Structure 1
Amino acid sequence: MKNLTAAILIALPVLMVSPTVMAASSDAVAKTVDVQFKKGASSANYYGKLKGIKYDSYTFYAKKNQKLSVKTTGGNVDSYLFNKNLSDSVNVGEYSSELDNQGYYKLPYSGKYELRILQPRSQASKGKTPPYWLELSIL
């Protein structure tokens, strides 16, 4: 019994994978989109549909101190921002504490960013396939 308890305690952290870790595998990419803004526009809109642990990747370039807004509607999805200089991903979803009072995230670096749209692990394991609409704005 002691061995079983020890094995469970060792395995438990591995089983409780965060969305950041879950989305770290390049095998999990469902689609990759280079974000394009129409001339004079500061926002772009996209549609996607997730399946399982796969995520959609949206890449874009921005300058330090620009403000990013990520709005998703439709299914239950999460939004995480990556940059090579960030120590960890940043939750930029609607209720994230990283956002200012207007719902913007101030970009700390100039360069290439990746926005990953994924579904919570609890939904992914149930085989959910949520559709979503994304509005990405940079001011």
Structure 2
Amino acid sequence: MNKPVSKHVKLALTLALAVLPGAANAAGVQREIHFAPGTYGASYGGTVRGYNYDSYVFYAHRGQHLKVGVGQQPLTPVLFHKSLRDAVNMEAYSPALNRSGDYILPFDGRYELRLLQTRNAARSGRQVPYTLSIRIW
């Protein structure tokens, strides 16, 4: 009876080790966003390849406005916060945005903005350069 359990444990460990390196490589670049004194925005450049994503971390207060732009690139900006029920799609015309294209931040604290490729572009392994513009006020 111990042998089948042992085989299952070995299989689980093998699968975990096979999956974890891929998950660790999912993030391309992680940057912390800081604005110059007296400004409310900044621009960052980068490149996303395949299923990887670039991550931008910032701290903000409830009620502040967030505006994000990546131009015409096939990238999807997605916002995360520990208290959000689900990630927020920050693409232009997303229903999460107000009429001005801003997102009103619902919580104080640390947010993470990830730039992901569309599924078709990621599948092809394309390398997509971008310029991210971000404003918080």
Alpha-carbon displacement from aligned partner over 1:65-88 (angstroms, at most 9, x marks no partner): 100000112521000000000011
For residue 130 of structure 1, give the secondary structure of its aligned residue in structure 2: strand
Percent identity reads 39
Question: What TM-score, normalized to structure 1?
Answer: 0.80
Aligned counterpart for 1:93 among listed residues 88, 91, 94: 91
How many Å separate the matches in 1 of 2:124 and 2:51? Answer: 10
How many Å separate the matches in 1 of 2:24 and 2:44? Answer: 21
How many Å separate the matches in 1 of 2:25 and 2:84? Answer: 22
Q: Partner amino acid for 2:104?
A: K
Aligned counterpart for 2:55 among listed residues 54, 57, 76: 57
RMSD across aligned C-alpha pairs, in angstroms? 1.0
Equivalent in the alignment of 1:108: 106
Question: What TM-score, normalized to structure 2?
Answer: 0.81
Q: Partner amino acid for 1:116?
A: R
Alignment of structure 1 residues 58-73 onto 2, 5 Å: 58-73=56-71
Structure 1 segments, 4+ long, off by >3 Å, are: none
For residue 85 of structure 2, give the secondary structure of its aligned residue in structure 1: coil
Q: Partner amino acid for 2:34?
A: Q
How many Å separate the matches in 1 of 2:28 and 2:118? Answer: 15
Post-superposition offset of 1:92:
0.9
Alignment: residue pair count: 115
- The answer to whether 1:122 aligns with 2:120 is yes
For residue 69 of structure 2, give the secondary structure of its aligned residue in structure 1: strand
For residue 120 of structure 2, give the secondary structure of its aligned residue in structure 1: helix
Larger-Rg structure? 2
Aligned counterpart for 2:27 among listed residues 26, 29, 46: 29
Equivalent in the alignment of 1:76: 74
* Cα gap change, 1:26 to 1:86, in 2 (>3 Å): farther
Structure 2 residue ranges without an equivalent (≥5): 1-22
